[in-house]
Copies of this chain bind each other. A is one copy, B any other.
Amino acid sequence: MAAFDIVGKGVPRTDARAKATGSATYTDDIKLPGMLHGRLLRSPVAHARILNIDTSRAKALPGVKSVITGADIPPVRYGNWRLFPNLQDEYALARDKVRFIGDEVAAVAAVDRDTAEEALGLISVEYEELPAVFDVDAAMRRGAPLVHDEVEGNVSLDRKIRYGDVESAFKEADYVRKDTFTVQAVSHAYLEPCSSVAQCDQDGRITLWTSTQVPYIVQCLLASTLKMRENDIRVIKPTVGGGFGGKMELRPWEFCAAFMARSTGKPVKFTLTRREELATGRRRHPMKLISKVGFKKDGTLLAKDLKILLDGGAYNAMGPTATFLCGNFGAMLYRYPAYRFLGLHVYTNKPPASAMRGFGAPQSLFASETQMNLAAEELGIDPIDLRLKNAQVPGDEIPDVATISSCGFRECLENVAVMSDWKKKRKSKKKGYGVGIGCYSFISGGVFNWFNTQYAFSTAEVRAFADGTVHLLTMASDIGQGSDTVLKQILAEELGLAMQDIRLTTADTAMTPQADLGTWGSRVTLMAGNAVIDAARQIKEQLFGAVSARFNLNVIYDLECKGGRVQAVGKPERGVSFGEAVAMVQKTNRGKALVVRGSYTPRRKGLVTPAFSFGAQVAEVQVDQRTGLVDVKNMWTAHDCGTVINSKSVEGQLEGSLHMGLGYALSEQLVMDGGVTVNDTFLDYKIPTALDMPHGVSACVPTYEPEGPMGAKEAGEGMVSPTAPAIADAVHRATGYRCMDLPITPEKILSGMKNKG
């Protein structure tokens, strides 16, 4: 591996000071002259036909400037799956039917928020209530009410993966087990609720500032829903206070802000309440997972048959991707000679589930990792040994789906065993005490072009100046994960510059280069990073040429950008400062500025991702025998993220993942009752606090990902997955209760203990 000057360091984040001092501008901080405030009217019923909407009283309220319903807007369905338009199933405002409690029915824009809120109460909607379905089994039952009239059986999509001879393999197996798991809906709980401000200029062009992960996707879908041209819409992402997958689609308030800014001629802002976010917002898919695995008695895996029912809620959202990824993750980590997957995406009358950190992995891996622990127990093999026996290695394939290039999974398992003193702790018989294990693999961006973009997946423009500075422009979107810092590090490293030599402009669809698909699936470091490197190398080619000419260097000489200079390798005196080299190129080009564009699009990387990360995690718990309360004492994680670009960021991501995984394991759950989300405040929706956080220790297993920028791949999203199965396994050791249905609540533990009792 190359020695790096800046890559690998814990460089402070570029937004640290702005965030710490409160000067960072979030969308809701934007105030424009004459700005109106918007509010959404939401359906109070889970499933109904809209017979009539009377907005006249709302429109008559002084201060109300606009009231719109589905009848006022173009009847355009949208959704991220542009490649398959039949999967685009949403309207910005309901037409004919509402499909969940919270479905957007009308929008009001008024001179202030209170007036807008008051106007909502003056809109009369006449509903004809319809029978509703609230879980996948009910939805798939023959004769069940149809959430979408045109989708028979409420299954909007099935995805299959199959390779090897599953039937024969099971016949050969010494040991076969079949388990059913269920996992709950949880909220992204980003700290910044969704917010959007739109403004329409005198040419009719719209600028939308919005808290989003995907400016380019919002731009395109807003254009199609408004029946405008893509580039007559400009989407700007201000500082974003978290997304976690919950801000990666066009959303109704983005549409309404833009539509009403155009129709009123005034800027319009929508900012959601926390209650709206929790009660009606996107969430991680609840799923039912039925998994059958077969082993030889020595622990060798022979086959897996996995069926997953995704409770998609009322619309597809990112469900189709989650459906496929569940199947991919079901085949990851271990070598399954035969594998069969069926994923069904099922409509129910609930708020749509969609992408969320892990994107199919937390659910799928909770099932498969728990099942691995169950099998290990019954086969009498240590669960780490069982994993090592079957662990994927570099070059492994999921036929027609994915190829694994770099893979440090074995090393992660070995490392975490040592770190946690696994063998010893696992044997402990201390009352209420246990250690358990869970593992993960994750993607570094997706390669399946579901959005059907016509652009490269990531693009970076670099402008180099004679004063020794460069300007990096990219549509890549930092939503808090730290990509701005990482991309600057990559460019600084590649060009031999310091962080402060780089000006960065990101995530403005009019100003930054077309295009970047946004922030999801841990794609930014690898994809935007590769685009940055592509651009940097083009810059270097030109600088090297100028320096070669100036010093009349033999063509066999290699050159480098290092320490602010451009010079012959090993002969630094044959070189000039970076700025001087730029000036030379500029002179050669007779005054034209040195500007290049780099890009990255993954090719021949299967259907999933260019690179997989891996990791293994051990949880140590102490369970209160009387209350069933779980105290997670320690978490040890060994992970393989390829080259670490920013050590502090990786550490931060690890902590964040652990925190989110902890909530998923133990306390978080959107509790539904007949379509109503019961716990729609942060008092009732239980996110672990800082005091709940275990002591965490982690180690990076060194690998080099050939497809990644400087060898890097995903860090921070995959690690959300192993925590629930690891804790569940530890709780089982501590109490005898084996959780098959998240979350692991004290009630379930106590009840499980009694049953074992």
Contact = CB atoms under 8 A, between A and B. Distances in A.
Interface in A439-459: 453-457, 459
A202 B599 CA distance: 29
A591 B586 contact: no
A231 interface: yes
Given A456-B592, A465-B231, A591-B456, A510 B503 contact: yes
Given A590-B456, A593-B515, A595-B513, A230 B465 contact: yes
A17 B465 CA distance: 37
Nearest to A15: B202
A101 to B, nearest CB: 37
Contact of A17 (B18, B202, B505): B202
A466 to B, nearest CB: 6
A471 interface: yes
A231 B590 CA distance: 20
A510 B500 contact: no
Given A591-B454, A595-B513, A601-B590, A503 B465 contact: no
A23 B35 CA distance: 13
A203 B465 contact: no
In this complex, the member of A459, A469, A471, A592 whose beta carbon has the largest number of chain B beta carbons within 10 angstroms is A592
A466 B454 CA distance: 9
B591 A471 contact: no
Interface in A196-255: 202-205, 223, 229-232
Given A469-B231, A505-B510, A601 B595 contact: no
Nearest to A502: B203
Contacts of A454: 466, 583, 586-587, 591
A223 B467 CA distance: 10
A69 B591 CA distance: 38
A742 to B, nearest CB: 40
A583 B593 CA distance: 27
Contacts of A591: 453-457, 599, 601
Interface in A442-496: 453-457, 459, 463, 465-469, 471
A471 B503 contact: no
A519 interface: no
Nearest to A201: B18
A159 to B, nearest CB: 26
A231 B467 contact: yes
A450 to B, nearest CB: 16
A209 B465 CA distance: 22
Which of A459, A514, A590 has the most chain B CB atoms inside 10 A of its CB?
A514
Contacts of A203: 14, 500
A281 B67 CA distance: 52
A597 interface: yes
A469 to B, nearest CB: 4
A151 interface: no
Contacts of A549: none
A459 B230 CA distance: 26
Contacts of A457: 591
B514 A465 contact: yes
Nearest to A234: B503
A511 interface: yes
Contacts of A229: 465, 467-469
A229 B471 CA distance: 13
Interface string A8-30: 00000010011000010000000
B471 A510 contact: yes
Given A455-B586, A591-B455, A503 B231 contact: yes
A23 B201 CA distance: 10
Interface string A587-631: 100111101010101000000000000000000000000000000
A466 B452 CA distance: 14
A234 to B, nearest CB: 8
Interface string A560-604: 000000000000000000000001001100111101010101000
Contacts of A463: 514
Contacts of A17: 202
Nearest to A25: B33
A265 to B, nearest CB: 9
A41 to B, nearest CB: 30
Contacts of A595: 513, 597
B455 A593 contact: yes
Interface in A409-463: 453-457, 459, 463
A453 B471 CA distance: 19
A204 to B, nearest CB: 8
Which 8 residue pairs across A and B have the least CB separation, nearest first? A456-B591, A229-B467, A514-B593, A17-B202, A231-B469, A230-B467, A231-B465, A455-B591
